[in-house]
Amino acid sequence: MGNFGHHLAGSVAAGGVCGAAAYYGLHTGLADAGACGLICGISGLIPDIDSPVSRPSDIIANLAGALVPMFALQAIDSAGYSPSELLIIAFITYLIARFGLRAMIGRFTVHRGMIHSIPAAVIWGAVVFLAFRRAPGLTQNIMATAATIGFATHLMIDEMFSLVDISGGKFTPKASSGTALKFFGHAVFPNILTYAILSVLLYICAVDAGFVGNKYIIAWPE
């Protein structure tokens, strides 16, 4: 699999392409194009949050602690809350992201489990889509697409490094080949949990986009 340097380089490159495509191809503002590239670049590091305690997982946990409160405040109508309430919301979401999420992932996942999978990439894209639900539709879709691309870039780099094992002069697939770009893992419960989360998030995204119904499973604050 690729190391942290490979993933960082791939994420930066993918982020640059996404930002340039948003600015020159879709004619977004400079700030939106920069945010698109940033989200893509960060997303390329996120799958390694399931790694054992290490430098990459520490960096990703710190990034999650910074991003999740911002995403939460973007998703709700902040004008409907007092400054004190917003502070409490930001602090609680920081604690959940920085410590609770990592503890849960460490408890229920293994490295290169279902977090390293195509459904997980779509889940992350859906989370970003909902985080930008108060942005214009084009911006919302650009950010979600960039997040999914960045996440998938990580998986593709891992798969490329697992494709061949150059040992003894023979090019043969490594044992880890096929464990990144996958739809299902070996364990039943992580598969069920992943697809349950994916289904709920896609339903909420569809409602948010106006494709189905007009009521959420859990109502958004307005």
In this structure, of 84-93, 116-125, 192-201, the range with the lowest mean pLDDT score is 84-93
In this structure, of 60-64, 172-176, 195-199, 206-210, the range with the lowest mean pLDDT score is 172-176
Domain for residue 135, yes or no?
Answer: yes
Phi, psi values for residue 201, rounded to 5°: -65, -40
Domain for residue 82, yes or no?
Answer: yes
Give the residue carrying structure tokens 């419960």. 189
What tens digit of pLDDT does each residue of 26-64 get?
Answer: 999 999 999 999 999 999 988 887 766 556 667 777 777
What tens digit of pLDDT does each residue of 148-166 get?
Answer: 999 999 999 888 877 655 4
Domain for residue 60, yes or no?
Answer: yes
Report the number of distinct structural domains present in the chain: 1
* Rounded-to-integer distance, Cα 48 and Cα 31, Å: 28
Domain for residue 146, yes or no?
Answer: yes
Domain for residue 182, yes or no?
Answer: yes
| 51-72 burial: b if 16+ Cβ within 10 Å, else e | beeeebbebbbebbbebbbebb
pTM to 2 decimals?
0.79
Domain for residue 192, yes or no?
Answer: yes
Q: How confident is the model at residue 8 (pLDDT cuts 50, 70, 90)?
A: confident
Domain for residue 119, yes or no?
Answer: yes
Q: How confident is the model at residue 80 (pLDDT cuts 50, 70, 90)?
A: confident
Q: What is the mean pLDDT of the chain?
A: 81
Closest CA to 18 of 155, 119, 141, 118: 141
Q: By residue range, what is the domain housing residue 143?
A: 4-208
Domain for residue 221, yes or no?
Answer: no
